[in-house]
Amino acid sequence: MPKILVTGGCGFIGANLVPMLMEKGYHVRILDNLSKGSKEYIKDSNVNIQEGDIRDETIVSNALIGIDVVIHLAAYGSVVESVLDPVENFDINTKGTFTVLNACRKANIKQVIFSSTGGALIGNAKPPVNEQSVPKPISPYGSSKLCCEAYCSSFSSSYDMNITALRFANVIGPISSHKKGAVTAFMKAIINNIPIQIYGDGKATRDFLFVTDLCSGIIKALDKKLPGFNPIHLASGREVSVTELAKLIISIAGKSDHSINYHDKRIGEVERNFANYDLAKELLEFEPEHSLEDGLKKTWLWFLNENSKNENT
């Protein structure tokens, strides 16, 4: 089985992906600077973890020794924070990804899977978006991911590398309490008995994908070994408004009287976004197994369990 390096493997997606990879028999190594992730998230996996930053070429090169494939998850993932600090966002996402790609080139690693984004990269295009939609990012985060895809494309063509850029929908699921997204914020608000905060009028829409469905898509891309450069959306194809999302979570939590407060819209966030996944279905045989309701229920139960454990410590 190929030996795989997962950058950012101690984060939300990595902590869900790594056990699935190991269950399939893959040999896995993680490179993570632990700024967002934690070894605690994967404490039950017998996996080699190397601490270090993806912007450090020596660290990346050492992590690549004996590796066949790279799954590059490490990133500065917040739209709002990218608006506040575009320099750090560029440095981690664009410079970091370039460093990883260049180290792969030098190590003669021919297969890379890059974690991209759908909504932030495409911007305010009429949904549903797909791989033919013209990217017009409206946040530094979206711009950084578009830059990364451009380097993926050029490295693929210039150095005969097979690089698949998977454009993730908004991901939900266990091990996400440190994330900045709406689902995490809404569930924490309910647990802490404070109002849910929505920025804008609540009509903005998103596409939510359960984390094990996303990880299944990553593994399918790994196994398919598509030639050349391929940007592919991994999504649910379902558009849901932020207010609808909040009400679904309130219903799942059994807190029908929980209040919602609305505030001014935040800069950099797209208004409507969801993608179809026809290409993923065609090329990867990808099909999500979880409905939004099922995914939210599993995520809520995980948050409740974590809160219970914290109260008992």
Q: For residues 127 and 251, what is the distance between their CA atoms, to the nearest angstrom?
A: 27
For the chain, how far is it from start to end, CA to CA, in angstroms?
41
pLDDT at 77: 85
pLDDT at 308: 86
**And the tokens for 103?**
């180290």
Give the sign of the dihedral formed by CA 7, CA 10, CA 14, CA 18.
positive
Residue with tokens 């003669």: 108
pLDDT at 192: 96
Q: For residues 308 and 305, what is the distance between their CA atoms, to the nearest angstrom?
A: 5
pLDDT at 1: 87
- Please give the full DSSP string across 123-188, using - where no structure is assigned: BSPPSSB-TTSPPB--SHHHHHHHHHHHHHHHHHHHHT-EEEEEEE-EEE-SS-TT--SHHHHHHH
Question: What does pLDDT average to over the chain?
Answer: 96
Stated pTM of the model: 0.96
Q: Are 294 and 258 in contact (CB under 8 A)?
A: no
Q: For residues 272 and 210, what is the distance between their CA atoms, to the nearest angstrom?
A: 19
Please state whether 169 falls in left (phi above 0), alpha (psi between -120 and 50) or beta.
beta
Q: How many CB atoms lie within 10 A of CB 136?
A: 13
pLDDT at 312: 73
pLDDT at 313: 66
Q: For residues 277 and 115, what is the distance between their CA atoms, to the nearest angstrom?
A: 16
Segments of the chain scoring below 50 in pLDDT: none
Q: What domains sit in the chain, N to C, each tagged with a CATH number?
A: 3-170+211-237+276-284 (3.40.50.720), 182-204+239-271+292-308 (3.90.25.10)
User: Looking at the annotation, which residues are catalytic?
Assistant: 141
pLDDT single digits (tens) 85-141: 999 999 999 999 999 999 999 999 999 999 999 989 999 999 999 999 999 999 999
